[in-house]
Amino acid sequence: MLVSFNVENWTCFRDRQEFSLEAVGSAPDEYAFDTNVSKYPRLNRVSAIYGPNGSGKSRFVDALAFSRSLVLESAQGAQAGDSIDTQPFLFDIEARAKPCRFDFVFIENGVAYEYSFAVDSERILGEWLYVRLPGGRRRHWLTREYHPRSKAFSWVFGATFRGSRSTWQKATRENALFVSTAVQLNSDLLRPIVNWFRNLAIVGPSGIPSDFTSKNFQEEPAFRARLVRFLKQADILVSKIRVREQEVDLDEIGPYLPVRVLEDIGDLEGAKIRVPEFGLPVRGGNDLAYLELGEQSDGTQRVYSFAAPWLDVVDRSRVVVVDELDRSLHPHLVQFLIRFINLPQPAGRDGAQLVATVHDTLLLEDALDRTQIWFTEKGLDQAATLTPLSAYRPRKNESLRRGYLGGRYGAIPNIAELEAIE
């Protein structure tokens, strides 16, 4: 469960921007769920981020992806001395010299973790960890800070933090996170943190490869009926699905690929790919005619690709972040995907969350609660801001769609008056 995420000095976000999924007021069950954690009792199931192109929506998703990668890979995917791919705000001389900072609050197995780190291209400059155990107060577990004058780190461990602290500390490289290193060296106490980041699913604008859904279809018989029901709920006509395997034919795809790419995939000769096919009834007969997924519309292909991940997110109460959720999708299909996450689930499975960047304004009236809406906007100084709708205090009966398109909340493109260009 994601409670909040703050980002500072990352790409277009020069100043600290605070993003929260804490439910405001008495949000109904179709929009929020109980966490059973007293400090953060109720969280939103969905948050949608609106804004014009170039306003920072994708950079917000990039910040989450970078953080996830650093937690999962810094202890094992890099070597001492390797640079870190940070992207500080470029349009301010002072900001260029400052670290990028990321702050997370999340809940895993009933424990609330407050985990932060600051980083530049050379090293981790700071790492902080606090926890709230069930029924307990906030406890400090870790403070690690780099001091430029002495070119050394100071370390402070909380009294309740247990484990081989000295061994883990010595093994932590300058360009690696302590939490990641300790878990690699078998810290059970910190493992839930890394597991949470591992279960954080991030999807770019291009979507998800269909193979994940096809693989689940082949390997899990119980998933097959669920997949058909999922597609039918999305008004995608299908009577039966089958998945066949087809060998990769490099001679067939070769003319469409650069030589460098062909060299990289040369070892795919003889490999097989999964090809899903949709069976539809034939008029006047009892048999089915099959169409390959590639023969379906872009929207149908995208919903099929989302099917297995969406069911997995709900089944395992995961957090999924999607950039441009509404790309190539009819507004009703976008509503379907959002409502599927907003749908209350049985106890023990009711923790799925979706954070999505979108442009579809119909969602403001039909699929989202006003506490689930955020806006990004970029100023003349190129610095982006992230603001919740609640900051504008919309009236109870106010048309959010009309207000947004009318510029009441900002975050819309400033289109000049149209004139002929000679």
Give per-residue pLDDT as tens, 194-239: 999 999 999 998 888 899 999 999 999 999 999 999 999 998 888 8
Q: Please tell me the total count of domains within the chain.
A: 2
State pTM to two decimals: 0.90
Mark whether 324 and 186 lie in a shared domain.
Answer: yes
Least confident of 297-301, 343-347, 409-413, 416-420: 416-420
- Residue 259 in this model has a pLDDT that exceeds 70: no
Mark whether 281 and 365 lie in a shared domain.
Answer: no
**How far is it, in rounded angstroms, from Cα 180 to Cα 76?**
9
Give strand pairing partners of 102. 7, 117
Last residue of a domain, one of 314, 337, 361: 314
Token look-up 């069911």 returns 311
Mark whether 37 and 146 lie in a shared domain.
Answer: yes
Q: Is residue 337 part of a domain?
A: yes
326-341 average pLDDT score: 92
Minimal CA–CA distance to 117: which of 104, 135, 98?
Answer: 104
Q: Is residue 419 part of a domain?
A: no
Residue-level pLDDT at 5: 97
pLDDT class of 251 with cuts at 50, 70, 90: low
Pairing of strands 42-44, 32-34: antiparallel
Mark whether 191 and 243 lie in a shared domain.
Answer: no
CA distances from 367 to 24, 43, 62, 300, 386 (A): 17, 17, 25, 20, 21
**How far is it, in rounded angstroms, from Cα 326 to Cα 49?**
12
**How far is it, in rounded angstroms, from Cα 142 to Cα 161?**
8
Residue-level pLDDT at 205: 85
Residue-level pLDDT at 414: 79
In the structure encoding, which two tokens stand for residue 134, read together?
Answer: 């069930």
Range of the domain at 258: 209-314
Residue-level pLDDT at 352: 95
Q: Is residue 306 part of a domain?
A: yes
Least confident of 132-136, 177-181, 211-215, 389-393: 132-136
**How far is it, in rounded angstroms, from Cα 394 to Cα 396?**
6
Give me the count of residues in the chain: 422
CB-CB contact of 228 with 279 (8 Å)? no
CB-CB contact of 305 with 279 (8 Å)? no
Identify the DSSP state of 415.
P
In the structure encoding, which two tokens stand for residue 43, read together?
Answer: 């969280």
Last residue of a domain, one of 269, 296, 314: 314
- Residue 261 in this model has a pLDDT that exceeds 70: no
Q: What confidence tens digit (pLDDT) does each residue in 119-161 have?
A: 999 999 999 999 999 888 999 999 999 999 999 999 999 999 9
CATH code at 144?
Answer: 3.40.50
- Residue 63 in this model has a pLDDT that exceeds 90: yes
CA distances from 69 to 77, 118, 205, 344 (A): 9, 14, 18, 30
Last residue of a domain, one of 314, 335, 361: 314
* Arithmetic mean of pLDDT over the chain: 90
Residue-level pLDDT at 227: 93
Residue-level pLDDT at 349: 79
Mark whether 328 and 344 lie in a shared domain.
Answer: yes
320-325 average pLDDT score: 96
Mark whether 12 and 156 lie in a shared domain.
Answer: yes
235-246 average pLDDT score: 88
In the structure encoding, which two tokens stand for residue 349, read together?
Answer: 């499975």
Q: Is residue 42 part of a domain?
A: yes
Residue-level pLDDT at 104: 98
Minimal CA–CA distance to 305: which of 201, 222, 221?
Answer: 201
- Residue 240 in this model has a pLDDT that exceeds 80: yes
Mark whether 86 and 158 lie in a shared domain.
Answer: yes
Mark whether 132 and 266 lie in a shared domain.
Answer: no
Minimal CA–CA distance to 281: which of 271, 270, 289?
Answer: 289
Mark whether 293 and 349 lie in a shared domain.
Answer: no
Residue-level pLDDT at 280: 86
- Residue 254 in this model has a pLDDT that exceeds 60: no
Mark whether 253 and 385 lie in a shared domain.
Answer: no
162-180 average pLDDT score: 95
pLDDT class of 267 with cuts at 50, 70, 90: low
CA distances from 395 to 151, 303, 368, 406 (A): 54, 35, 16, 15
Greatest Cα pair distance, the chain, in angstroms, is 83
Q: Is residue 55 part of a domain?
A: yes
Q: Is 24 helix (H, G, I), strand (E, B) or coil?
A: coil
Q: Which residue has the higher pLDDT, 414 or 130?
A: 130
Q: Is residue 132 part of a domain?
A: yes
Residue-level pLDDT at 58: 95
273-294 average pLDDT score: 88
- Residue 262 in this model has a pLDDT that exceeds 60: no
Mark whether 129 and 193 lie in a shared domain.
Answer: yes
**How far is it, in rounded angstroms, from Cα 334 to Cα 1?**
22
What percent of the chain is predicted at pLDDT more than 70?
94
pLDDT class of 246 with cuts at 50, 70, 90: confident
Token look-up 């040369």 returns 266
3-state DSSP helix/strand/coil % of the chain, to nearest 5: 30, 25, 40
CB-CB contact of 384 with 378 (8 Å)? yes
Q: What confidence tens digit (pLDDT) does each residue in 80-129 have?
A: 788 999 999 999 999 999 999 999 999 999 999 999 999 999 999 999 99
Q: CB within 8 A of 116, min separation 6: which ones?
A: 101, 102, 103, 104, 126, 127, 128, 129
Q: Is residue 421 part of a domain?
A: no
Mark whether 59 and 171 lie in a shared domain.
Answer: yes
Q: Is residue 368 part of a domain?
A: yes
Residue-level pLDDT at 252: 55
